[in-house]
Structure 1
Amino acid sequence: MTTEAASNSKKPRPSSSSFSSLPEEVALKCLLHVPRCYDLNLSLVSKTMRSLVRSPELHRLRSQLLKSVYLSYDFYFYQIAMDPSPSYRWITFRPGEKTTDYQLEQRFPRHSLGYAVSVGSEIYFIGGRSLPSTRLWILDTQSGHIWTAPSMKVGRSEVNKTAVGVVEGKIYVIGGSEEDSQVEVFDPQAQTWDFVGEEKVTCESRFSASMKQKVYMVNRDGRVSTYSPREGINNDATEMPSDDIIKFVCVVKNVLYGCFEWSGLMWFNTKLKVWRKVVDRDGKDGKLELYSFAAAKMVEYEGMIAFFWPLCNIDPFKENILCKLIALDRLGEEIRGRIEWSGIVATLPRDIVLRDCLVVSG
C-alpha cells in the first residue's frame, strides 16, 4: 500500500445523514406528508421508523389534516309546518370514501343560523338569515358544542346581501344591513368585533369567497369586486358571460371558480378580469361532463371541486345525495377538469332543501 493510499484510508469518512437521526418532532412532520399507503413499507425500514409510523402523535397530526364536508338541510314548507321544533340538520362525510361513512350531526334552531363560514374546526354563524341580527354563534365541530360569542355592532342578514371572508384568520363581514354600514371584523383569538375604517359601504354581491388576502364578491350576473383590509373596496370592470346567471362560487388553489346556469364551470382570470371556461381533459367544452345542471351546492374539497345534488331513491320516502369531484389542472392559459370520483354520499328523508355546505378541518 502506498503512503498516499494509507493516508487516505485513515481519513474519517463523512457521516451519512440518517432520517432516524432527526429529532422526533421533525421526523413526524416529514412523515405527515407521506401517503398512508406507504406505512407498511416504512415500517420495514427500521425499528425506529416502525415506532414513528405507529406513533399516536403521527395519528393526531394526520387527523388534523383530514377535512370533512358539513352539509346542512331542512324540509320544504309543508313539512316545516308540521315540525313543532323547526331546525337545521347537519351531516358530515368525506367524499370518495365509502358511501355509508357519513354521520348525522345534532340539530340547531333555525333562527340561530345566519351566514355560515368555517375557520379550522369551527363554524361561525353570523347575523340572521332572513331578519337582521347582531348575534354570532360558534360551533366546535370536534366537541359538538355551540355557544354565543360577542355580538356585532350592526345587525346583518343574508337577505340584505352579505359578503363574508376570512383573511389571515380573521372574519370580515361586508354589507348585510338595511343601510350602508361599516365593515366589521371578528378576531377569533381575542373574541372581539371591530369596525374596519370609517367608510360605509354597500354590498351588492350574492356570493363571496376568500383568496390572496382579499374577499372576492360576485354578483348574480358574474360581476366581481374585491375587498382588502388594506385597500378597501375595488370595483374593477369585469367581462361577463352574456345573459347568464351564476349559481355558486368557490376558491381552489388560489383560483376563483364560478358555476353558471348555462355556461357551466368557469374560472376567473384576475389579471384580465374575465371569466374563462373550464375545458375537459382534451381541451374541449366540458360543460356537460364536468357540471351537473341539477347541482345544488359547490365547495372546494382537497384541491378539487365538489358538486352535490339530491336524487330520488328507490324508496319513495328517501332521497340520495350525489357528489361529483372535479380534479383541476393548469395547462398554459387553460384550466382542464376531469371527473375524479362520483357517487352517493348519503341517503336522507325525501323533500329536503340543502342549505350550507362547508369544509371543516380536524
Structure 2
Amino acid sequence: MEVLIPEKKRKRKSKPTTTTTKTKKKKKLEKPSSTPQQSTPNPIPSLPDDLVFHIIARISRLYYPTLSLVSKSFRSLLASPELYKTRSLLGRTESCFYLCLKSECCKGGPSWFTLCRKPDQTITNDETSGERKSRGYALAKVPLSQSPNANFSSLVAVGSNIYNIGVPQSIYKASSSTVSVLDCTSHTWRQAPSLPVELFRLSASVLDRKIYVAGRYADGDDSNNMKNTFQVFDTRTQVWDHEPIPEDGLYFSNSACIDGKFHLVANVAAYNAKEGRWDILGKSGMSRYMDTDTHCDIENVLYSFSDGALRWYDSEVREWRILNGLVGLPKFRPGAWVGLADYGGKMMVLWAETAGALVFYQKRIWCAEITLERRKSCEIWGKVEWFGHVLTVSADCNFQKVIAATV
C-alpha cells in the first residue's frame, strides 16, 4: 500500500502537465495562421505563392478582367506589383488596349474600358469571304471610382502608365497644370508633378519615354495675350524641363513623333531632341490628314482615317497613301467616328455606329486588329486579324481617345 500511494499521486500530477503541454503545442501550431499576411493573399492556398505568381503571369492580360470576378483574393493578386514584376522577368509583358469614353449627359468624369477575351470563345474563319470574325472579344469597364476629365491631345502612354496632362477638372476653368497618371497594373489614379505653367491648349506626344508638350499660355493676366511654351517631362526622373520654342509663325493643332523628332502640325515644325533645334517646315504633306483626332504613329509611320479611308505617311514617301489590303474589314458609314492606336506594332481600329429608333438610340462600338506589313513596292498592307462588336453604349457617349499601355 505504501508503494501504490505515491504512484497515484504522480499520476494525478502528470495529467495537468500533459494537458498543458498539448495546449501549448496547439497554440504554437495555430499562431502562424492567425497572424495577418503582409503579402498578397494567395487565391490557391494549396500552391506556394511563387508558383501561383508564375502561373497567373503566363496568362494573357486579356483574361484578367474575367479572372478578377472569381474572388477578392484573385482581384488583389491581379493588381499586385509582384505579379507584374514576374511578368516582366518571364518576358510576358504585352500591349493592353483602352478606350476613354465620355457621356455628354454625365456630370462626372469619363469612363474607361479595356479589351478582354470572353471565356470559351474562339476566333472563327469565314472561308467563303476570307473574313476573320470574332465574338470572343469585348470591352470591359475598368473599375475606377472617379476619373479626371480627358481629351485626345492630353492622353499619352508610357510603359504601364497613361498620363493625362493639363486638363481642367472643371468646365468653368479654361487652363490647368494638373498631371494625373493611370496605373494600368492596379487601375488606380495618382498625381504626377504639375506642369510649370497652366495651359489653355496643348498637344502631347512620347519619344524615348519622354513626354513632349507644346501649348499656349496666358502672359500675365491678359488671356488675349497668348504665348507658346514647350515642356519636356522625363518619366524616369519625374522632372519637367523647359525647352525653347519659336514664338512667331508657329501654330499647331496636333503632334506626332516619327524619325526621332517631335512634330507639330498644322504649320509643321519638327523638334530634334538630340540637337535641341526646331526646323520650321511650313505647310507640308504631313499636315493634310492630321487636322482631326483620328491618327496615331506606329514604328515611324503616321496613320490617319479621313474621307472614309485609312491612310499612311512616312518621311521616305513624303505623301499620304491608302493602306492596302484590309480584306474583310467592313466599310465605315458616313459620319462614323474612328479611333486608331498602336497595339504593340499592330494597329487597333475602333469605330462606332448609331442604331435604334426615336430616343432609344444606341452606339454599337466595333473593333479590329490589323497586322501591318511594308512591301518592296514601298507600300504598306494591312491584314485584318479579327473584327467584331465589342460594346454597346448610349448615343450621347463620345470617344475621347483609344490608347494602349504595356503591362
Task: Give the partner amino acid of 2:302.
Answer: L
Task: Give the partner amino acid of 1:147.
Answer: R
Pairing 1:325–2:369 present: yes
Partner of 2:379: 334
Pairing 1:206–2:253 present: yes
TM-score of the superposition, structure 1-length normalised? Answer: 0.68
1:203: Cα distance to partner?
5.6
Task: Give the partner amino acid of 1:251.
Answer: D
1:347 to 373, 383, 392: 392
Pairing 1:306–2:344 present: no
Q: How does 1:12-91 map to 2 (within 5 A)?
A: 59=87, 61=89, 64-76=92-104, 79-80=105-106, 83=107, 86-91=108-113
Q: How does 1:73-112 map to 2 (within 5 A)?
A: 73-76=101-104, 79-80=105-106, 83=107, 86-94=108-116, 98-100=136-138, 102-111=140-149
Could you tell me how far apart the structure 1 residues matched to 2:228 and 2:196 are? 10
Partner of 1:177: 217
Partner of 1:361: 406
1:246, 1:261 within 8 Å by CA — same for their partners in 2? no
User: Is the alpha carbon distance of 1:62 and 1:212 closer, same or farther for their aligned partners in structure 2, counting shifts above 3 Å?
Assistant: farther
Q: How does 1:119-158 map to 2 (within 5 A)?
A: 119-128=158-167, 131-157=174-200
Could you tell me how far apart the structure 2 residues matched to 1:309 and 1:203 are? 32
Could you tell me how far apart the structure 2 residues matched to 1:181 and 1:98 are? 47
Could you tell me how far apart the structure 2 residues matched to 1:344 and 1:303 are? 22
1:67: Cα distance to partner?
1.2
TM-score of the superposition, structure 2-length normalised? Answer: 0.61
1:207: Cα distance to partner?
2.4
Could you tell me how far apart the structure 2 residues matched to 1:198 and 1:205 are? 12
Task: Give the partner amino acid of 1:253.
Answer: E
Task: Give the partner amino acid of 2:194.
Answer: S
State the Cα RMSD in Å.
Answer: 3.7
Give the match's secondary structure for 2:285: coil
CA radius of gyration, larger in: 2
Task: Give the partner amino acid of 2:270.
Answer: T
Q: Quick one: percent identity of the two aligned structures?
A: 24
Count of residues in Structure 1 that have an aligned counterpart in Structure 2:
293
Partner of 1:12: none
2:284 to 212, 218, 238: 238
1:183, 1:201 within 8 Å by CA — same for their partners in 2? no
1:173: Cα distance to partner?
0.8
Unaligned residue ranges in structure 2 (runs of 5+): 1-53, 59-83, 118-133, 219-225
2:111, 2:147 within 8 Å by CA — same for their partners in 1? no
Unaligned residue ranges in structure 1 (runs of 5+): 1-27, 33-55
2:110, 2:150 within 8 Å by CA — same for their partners in 1? no
User: Is the alpha carbon distance of 1:278 and 1:291 closer, same or farther for their aligned partners in structure 2, counting shifts above 3 Å?
Assistant: farther
Could you tell me how far apart the structure 2 residues matched to 1:105 and 1:291 are? 31
